[in-house]
Copies of this chain bind each other. A is one copy, B any other.
Amino acid sequence: MDFSEMWLDIKPIENIDINSVSITCTSRETASSAAVWELRNSFSRLLPDVRFTERDADYKIKISIAPMDSPESFTLSADNNGASIVGGGGAGTLYAAFTLLRDIRLNGFKTLNISETPSLPLRMIDHWDNIDGSIERGYSGKSFFFVDGELVINERTVQYARFLASIGINACAINNVNVRWGAEMLITDKYAEKLSALGELFERYGIKLYICIDFSAPISVGKMDTSDPLDEKVQKWWKSCANELFSKVTGLGGFLVKADSEGQPGPYAYGRNHADGANMLAKAVKPFGGKVIWRCFVYNCAQDWRDTETDRACSAYQSFSPLDGKFDDNVILQIKNGPMDFQVREPVHPLFGAMNNTNIIAEVQLAQEYTGQQRHVCCLLQMFRDFLDHRTYCNDDNDTVSDVICGIAAVSNTGDDHCWTGSELAAANLYGYGRLSFNKTLKAEDIVDEWVKLTFENNDAQSIISDILLNSHDAYEKYTVPLGIGWMCKPNVHYGPDPWGYEFDRWGTYNRADRNAVGVDRSSEGTRYSLLYNEPLRTQYNSVETCPDELLLFFHRVPYDHKLKNGKTVIQHIYDTHFEGYEKAKSFAKAWKTLEGKIDDRTYENGCERFNEQLRSAKEWRDIINTFFYRFSGIADEKGRKIY
């Protein structure tokens, strides 16, 4: 099979005086055997002439296990002569091995003394892979898990498990949360054997297997006439289903559920709430240590655009905040970073400050659904950083998002493309997401630096690519959707500008532009969304004066000549950012052109194609958004640039 090794493509190190390596491991854990294999494989590539011996080696690696905070914890000490790895469990040894290898590749054979426990216990990737092989919001080819209704396990699957383990991911949901086209049958005998084989492979790499289930499976699979969570027959059916599944499938972590959302079935159909639904499933998987991850992405997707009272942004809060404390301890709520849906700029979801007594994890999206679909370069790591650092004010201190969550999940951006992520540069998002979930204090620029050094050899290339990545989100935001308003993309495909594509539709995503003003009033005078935040955020967001400009049009409706904090009018800000964003994109494309010969041809060509498309599309964004607002406002650009 032909695919890239991404950041695990190990090149030999020159001028190292190590001729022999020994690896001794006293752990019998399956993940430790993966650690040994990874070390052996990687050293044979780092040092092509190396011999592996059992003793008296130039470089000695010792692996063992000892009680620690968590089985995923480890200590790693190393110097020129070898390394000592002690894990809290098999996973700890595996993470230590990857840490050692990464450090050697980045810094050479240096002295190391690291003690680490992953910041967040649950570090997850959610695949939106359909059972027919298509991927919802997939921009990197087809599924490598599913082909024509069958589960596939091959070299790619092994390589993928290695990628995930190397960045510390420990859970993976393999199918789309929109469970359809036969995917509801994944919980039946038909798939048990294949699932178990996958679960075993994942287990070796410290990854729990999750399955997205159809909440109405008692009907669709069980041929019953209800899936009411309070119906005893339904409860019994799920218990029996869980019993079968956990007994047959190795390494199963539990279920991920999208319920009562965008047409998916859920407890509301029976007058029950989300706690009723989630707890019923939780009880079924509890005996097997299983977890139920329950998405909070619940809103009315049949809104009348004429209705200005209903606000989609409020919806999940209204559904879930009254249920805080009512969920079983093996239920985990999965909350999107913002209240809408993975826009380039959104406020942090108010639920993060409202669920003190519930297990919650954050959901972010690596698939660049609304951020250029891996055709535009858009590094999401600083956005993730800011999100994790955002204070919720639900306690007096230690109340940033990263403090209140017990894990994080990301919608995958991978597929069966040669480079896995559509654009080679999009791999930085996957890599960085994993690194950040493992160590939530890492800085975006340090992660990018790591990824660039692990991926590209040439120093110029490293620095140029780092620079592109670190500026890419800002550029994308500038030439697309201004001041947090969101949703100015083409409906359905979510690619390219269409400023009123959603304005008269049923999705609750409006900008309400007219000749006088733009934006949605979500203050206490409007939809009252701002009141869902804890103080001082509530007051800050509620007032036009104190609301951060970057979210101004999300929270407020203002005239085009409203002055931002820098003294610019809203309309001039729109013009300026759109011209600037496009120029930035142009500078990226130009910088990329200088990489010819400095990086491999395939990556170079992949980038050229995508930068061409990014420029074409960015120009459309710039001109259409500027024209849209110019036609409404009638206010000319101060700098006299061309607006149509």
Contact = CB atoms under 8 A, between A and B. Distances in A.
B644 A514 contact: no
A516 B515 CA distance: 10
A498 interface: yes
B497 A634 contact: no
Contact of A620 (B504, B515, B630, B634): B504
A187 interface: no
A302 to B, nearest CB: 12
For chain A, give the interface size range: 20 to 34
A632 B501 contact: no
A513 interface: yes
A624 interface: yes
Interface string A486-513: 0000000000011111001000000001
A631 interface: yes
Contact of A515 (B497, B500, B631): B631
B504 A624 contact: yes
Count the copies. 2
B504 A627 contact: yes
Contacts of A623: 306
Interface string A605-644: 0000000000000001001100100111110000000001
Interface string A18-46: 00000000000000000000000000000
A630 B513 CA distance: 11
A514 B620 contact: no
Contacts of A627: 504
A513 B504 CA distance: 17
B644 A513 contact: no
Contacts of A620: 504
A36 B305 CA distance: 60
A340 B624 CA distance: 24
A633 B306 CA distance: 19
Contacts of A501: 498, 501
A498 B492 CA distance: 14
Contacts of A497: 504
Contact of A644 (B306, B632, B633, B644): B306
A633 B515 contact: yes
Nearest to A306: B644
A513 B513 CA distance: 14
Given A500-B500, A501-B501, A644-B306, A515 B632 contact: yes
Contacts of A624: 305, 504
A425 B150 CA distance: 47
A561 to B, nearest CB: 14
A627 B503 CA distance: 11
A513 B306 contact: no
Contacts of A633: 515
A624 B304 CA distance: 12
Contact of A634 (B306, B498, B514, B631): B514
Contacts of A305: 624, 644
Interface string A321-343: 00000000000000000000000
Interface string A505-534: 000000001111000000000000000000
A253 B631 CA distance: 52
A499 B634 CA distance: 19
Contacts of A514: 630-632, 634
Contacts of A632: 514-515, 631-632
17 contacts: A306-B644, A497-B504, A498-B501, A498-B504, A500-B500, A504-B620, A504-B624, A504-B627, A513-B631, A514-B634, A515-B515, A515-B632, A515-B633, A515-B634, A516-B634, A631-B632, A632-B632
Interface of A: 305-306, 497-501, 504, 513-516, 620, 623-624, 627, 630-634, 644
Query: Which 5 pairs from chain A and chain B are nearest by CB?
Result: A514-B631, A515-B515, A504-B624, A306-B644, A500-B500
Given A515-B634, A516-B634, 11 more contacts: A306-B644, A497-B504, A498-B501, A501-B501, A504-B620, A504-B624, A513-B631, A514-B630, A514-B631, A514-B632, A515-B633
